Amino acid sequence: MSLDHYTYRVTWSAEDAAHVGLCAELASLSWLAPTPEKALSGIRAVVADVVKDLRASGELVPDTIAERRYSGELRVRIPPLVHRQLALQAAEEGVSLNRLASAKLAA
């Protein structure tokens, strides 16, 4: 697994008046910097250090989101009334409940 395969993001923090580098797989980590480029290079360096430490101590290193396998199945609990309304809408549109729910989630 390459550290380049982790999911990095840079956003602005008004509270800190700085750009924040984040890594989705290691959500507790962040890096503040004056520019987006420095925030990205900073979080990448922090991730590299943390992954190195995790490996050295024999701890689990998180898989990258991009390399995880997804089944395409998702169980969601909803109130019975919502279930009924969705089933009715699916029937009226002539589609399966699964197709209707998938389209709503994707929107």
pLDDT per residue over 9-42, tens digit each? 999 999 999 999 999 999 999 999 999 999 999 9
DSSP state of 67: G
pLDDT per residue over 91-105, tens digit each? 999 999 999 999 999
Alpha-carbon separation of residue 105 from 7, 30, 99, 101, 102 (angstroms): 22, 29, 10, 6, 5
pLDDT per residue over 41-83, tens digit each? 999 999 999 999 999 999 999 999 999 999 999 999 999 999 9
Question: Does the reported pTM lie above 0.85?
Answer: no
Q: What is the pLDDT of residue 1?
A: 74
Q: What is the pLDDT of residue 99?
A: 95
Backbone angles phi, psi at 9, to 5 degrees: -145, 145
Q: Which residues contact 82 (CB under 8 A, 6 or more apart)?
A: none
